[in-house]
């Protein structure tokens, strides 16, 4: 239609002065309609293009759809899986009165931390694609929740390691009221510390006003990200030292029991293999992200950030499997809740904190 109107206007310009005559205008003459521009210096064909083009251009670009990143979808799916797993663990611990030992208190605290981490990943996806993420409150809320949850998850794993070490080192005095009090104090300290870390971005420790100081996880500053990464490396080193001491104590106990030497040696070797698998899984999940947080900043390609964040979140997927679902007492509760019975091949021996 634009081309036909332009041709009609060109024909009217070649007719000479007939358009400037004093004869009355024909309302059905298209050439007359398009030959009355305000600026006489313009050609007859230009007004058509300049008049119609601005009207059509906004219509073609009025609706813009934000493309969803497959990495964000993967993180959202991971968060959903994390939430479901840990919600199941929390439900089992809550509705089973016999699971109130210090070990189960720490497992429950770890499950709550991982549950919040999973919910944080889901909310981050919602805030990114369904809510205006340019609002500072939304960004700070999402990042604060993730920092608090994942920090609590790491520190609860450290607390479980400390609990296992104490159950071996102080085997005679472990099952006392003092141990329960110490466990509750550890849990309170962990959550107060992690909630404080999560509030730091909202209290002004962010890079929203100076994008050049951002880390790979906006709006966390580069200095704060490095501090968190170094703290994680120290926690990982402490865990390795504690597990090394656990192995030494286990081997010493095996040597002291001469009658059951062969049996205990086999079980101890299996326990050491399990400890090694736990440490390797924990390190493989978190070490890449921690090291990358130290060397990188916001100017690095975002795909590298996703490639290190996704394995870190997977640690919260395997935590319920390692620390909860392998526990015979929790397994019994799950079987009773699901089918009302306990398999005969399930161990009836109560599991202690020193068990791996």
Residue 263's pLDDT is 52
List Cβ neighbours of 171 (8 Å cut-off, separation of 6 or more).
Answer: 354
Domain boundaries, the chain: 70-340
Q: Which residues of the chain have pLDDT under 70?
A: 1-65, 133-135, 254, 256-271, 340-356
Q: How far is CA 105 from CA 65, 101, 111, 112, in A?
A: 46, 6, 10, 11
List Cβ neighbours of 264 (8 Å cut-off, separation of 6 or more).
Answer: 253, 254, 257
SS3 119: helix
Residue 185's pLDDT is 94
Residue 65's pLDDT is 58
Backbone phi, psi, residue 310, to 5°: -60, -45
User: In Å, how far from its chain's centre is CA 275?
Assistant: 26
Fold of 70-340: Rhopdopsin 7-helix transmembrane proteins (1.20.1070)
Where are the alpha helices (H) located in the chain, listed in sequence order?
A: 2-14, 30-33, 46-61, 70-94, 102-129, 136-169, 177-199, 222-256, 261-295, 302-320, 328-339
d(CA 191, CA 126) in angstroms, rounded, equals 25
Residue 145's pLDDT is 94
pTM confidence score: 0.77
Residue 236's pLDDT is 95
């Amino acid at each position: 239609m634009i081309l036909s109107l332009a041709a009609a206007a060109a024909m009217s310009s070649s007719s000479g002065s007939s358009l400037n005559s004093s004869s009355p205008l024909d309302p059905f003459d298209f050439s007359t309609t398009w030959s009355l521009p305000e600026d006489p210096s313009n050609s007859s064909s230009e007004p058509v293009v300049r008049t119609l083009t601005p009207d059509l251009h906004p219509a073609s670009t009025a609706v813009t759809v934000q493309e969803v990143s497959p990495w964000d979808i993967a993180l959202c799916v991971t968060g959903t899986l994390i939430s479901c797993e840990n919600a199941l663990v929390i439900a089992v611990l809550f509705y089973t009165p016999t699971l109130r030992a210090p070990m189960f208190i720490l497992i429950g605290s770890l499950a709550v931390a991982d549950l919040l981490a999973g919910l944080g990943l889901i909310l981050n996806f919602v805030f990114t694609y369904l809510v205006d993420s340019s609002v500072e409150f939304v960004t700070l809320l999402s990042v604060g929740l993730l920092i608090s949850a994942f920090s609590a998850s790491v520190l609860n794993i450290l607390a479980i390691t400390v609990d296992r070490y104490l159950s071996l080192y102080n085997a005679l005095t472990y099952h006392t009221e003092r141990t329960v009090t110490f466990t509750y104090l550890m849990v309170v300290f962990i959550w107060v510390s992690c909630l404080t870390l999560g509030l730091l971005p909202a209290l002004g420790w962010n890079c929203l006003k100076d994008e050049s100081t951002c880390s790979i996880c906006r709006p966390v500053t580069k200095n704060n990200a490095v501090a968190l990464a170094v703290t994680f490396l120290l926690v990982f080193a402490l865990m390795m030292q504690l597990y090394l001491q656990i192995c030494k104590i286990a081997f010493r106990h095996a040597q002291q029991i001469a009658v059951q030497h062969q049996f205990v040696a086999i079980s101890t070797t299996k326990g050491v293999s399990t400890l090694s698998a736990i440490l390797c899984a924990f390190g493989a999940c978190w070490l890449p992200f921690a090291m990358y947080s130290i060397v990188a900043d916001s100017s690095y390609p975002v795909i590298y950030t996703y490639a290190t964040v996704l394995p870190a979140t997977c640690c919260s997927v395997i935590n319920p499997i390692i620390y909860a679902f392998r526990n015979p007492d929790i397994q019994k509760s799950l079987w009773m809740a699901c089918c009302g019975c306990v398999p005969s091949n399930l161990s009836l021996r109560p599991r202690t904190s020193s068990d791996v």
